[in-house]
Structures are given as structure tokens and as C-alpha cells.
Amino acid sequence: MKIILFNTKAYDRESFEKALSGTGHTVRFVEAKLNIETVKLASGYDCACIFVNDIADESVIKELAANGTKFIALRCAGFNNVDLHAARKYGVCVARVPEYSPYGVAEHAIALMMTLNRKTHRAHNRIREGNFALSGLLGFDIHGKTAGVIGTGKIGSIAAKILGEGFGCKVLAYDKFPNPELEKGSAEYTDLDTLLKKCDIITLHCPLNPETHYLINKDSIGLMKPGVMIINTSRGGLIDTLAVIDALKSGAVGSLGIDVYEEEGDLFFEDLSGNVIQDDVFARLLTLPNVMITGHQAYFTAEALVNIAETTIGNITEYEENDTCVNAVFCDRIRTSESVRIQNMD
């Protein structure tokens, strides 16, 4: 197949060139993100390979289909940036990489917790300046605290096990599809309101869809313990950022650690160190001492890059050979029930 990879960096090229070896596929790497302004770059290509901040809405998919593209290969797990109804309408198959670094993402969530709690980033900067004072660096024992895990797919289940079996937390979990293995020892499933009310730490590991959009909002924050820590390594749209900023200022939320942001498309994966950040909401977050932000790097491990490239190329090859793909989130040959079910996975 002829493939165009949008939104690529040097590390993407390296991992995909290795995965492509011997497959017979031809590929073009472009740095541009997929959107209505760049979609013409895909003209004549069988497959458009995209990442989390590319836009594949109806206008883009219509143009892709008109210009010969029949397969959208996501090199990520989430697919909230793809209009699946449009894919069905124009006969474009969409496939994803269902997992690539579940341990890496879960471990990064824990790293955000530890950094926020023990303020190691601030301590590091102090020490480099010869300041060895401990004032302002007070943390708490995570052991014995109640941690809430919202979404217990592969990533959430790993996070729950780290918190429960590793740190000695009481772990409460919420998911419409409980993990039977997790129920046996690492976590206790409960309803969402109970989790929000009882937890000292809440970490989000669920997909973004209409039901989970702004899951963390003014009302849900009102149910939480004063001073709660919130961690999000899933999708930015799970959090109403303005509501959380107000809660951080009042002390209702004690700290926030995020690897994702609702409007990250114009920020993350680029070097903007010489620019003025135009997003005033994000700029406000940067001023708060109890906020830790990383730029969508939770997935970014050596193992993940290999898994993403190999699975993506495997999806493309399988579709070319069979007109279908086991990792499809929409395909004419995949049952509708399967396409719906998969939306509940992280």
C-alpha cells in the first residue's frame, strides 16, 4: 500500500522505517498535521497514518475518500479525533493500536503523583542553587491513602496494582466494565460518586467520549475531599480546566498532574520555547506551583515506539490482504456491536 504518515518526528521515522522493512509498502513522512488544510497531501495514497492531535472530522474524511484513501491507521489507542460516522458514510476503514505502553503510561501517572507529592522538581532546582532548606517541600505518605482509579482497562489496571500492591493504598475503582482479575485483590469497585468522595488521589484512565467529556467538573470536584490530588494521563477533555483552576486556587483541589490538555493540539510535540504561549488558560496553569504538566510523554518509551510501528504496519498489511483488520474500530466487515464495544476500552 501507499502510506502517508502525518505529524511525524524523527523518532517516528526511525521506528517505522524498521517496521516497514520487507513489507513492500511505500511510505511518505510529513511533519504537517492532518486537517482540512493539509488533507490534499494524502491524494493518491491508500492509507493515511495519523496521531492523537491530527483531525479526521467529516470534511477531512470526505476529502480523503474522494482522493483514494481507504484506510486510516491510527498510531495510538484513542480515536476521539476521528469521526467514525463519517468513516462509515464514506467507506473508510479506521484501525488503532489498542495498546503499546500500558506499563509506561501507568508508571508515568505514578511519577506525576510522586513528583507533586514530594516536590522533587522544586527540590532539584533549589539544590542546584545551593538552597538546602526544606520549607515548602512537605509531602505525605502515599501508603495507607485511598486512591481512586477511573477506568480499569490495561493502563488503569496496572496503575491500580502499583498503588494497591506496591504502595499499600486502598484502591477504589470505577468502570462500567469491571476487570474480574482486579476485583480479586488490588481494587474494590464502587460507584463514581463514592470514589470521588472517599479518595485522596484520583487518577484518570478512561477514553474520551460524550459520556466522559468534562468528567472532572465543578460539580464532581464539589464531591471530592478537600485537597485531593488529580492525575490525568488519558485525554485532556476529561477535565474542565477552568473549573479545576478555580478549585486549585481555593484549595478544593490540592494538586494537579496532567500529561494531556484539552487544547494541546497547538502546543504539544513542538518546541515553543521562543514563543509567547497564546493559550491564556494553559498559561494560567503554568503559574500554579501545585500543578505538574508534561507534554503527552506518558506513552513515550523505547518499547512503545517499537510496538506502535509494528502494530500499525501489521494493521495496514492485514487490511490490504483481507479487507478487514482485527484492530479496526470501524470497518464494513467488522460487526457494529464490536465497534461500539471497543469504545469502552482505554
Active-site positions read 235, 264, 296
CA distance 131 to 138: 15
Q: Are 243 and 269 a contacting pair, CB within 8 Å? A: no
CA dist list (Å): 140 to 114, 189, 201, 292: 10, 25, 12, 17
Q: Are 50 and 75 a contacting pair, CB within 8 Å? A: yes
Lookup: cell for 37 = 488544510
Q: Which of 28, 154, 98 is nearest to 307 (CA)?
A: 98
Q: Which of 281, 245, 289, 290 is nearest to 262 (CA)?
A: 281
Q: Are 14 and 34 a contacting pair, CB within 8 Å? A: no
CA distance 329 to 128: 49
Q: Are 200 and 225 a contacting pair, CB within 8 Å? A: yes
Counting other chains too, the contacts that 34-38 makes at CB distance below 8 Å and 24 or more residues apart are 34/6, 34/7, 34/60, 35/60, 36/60, 36/63, 38/6
Lookup: cell for 237 = 477533555
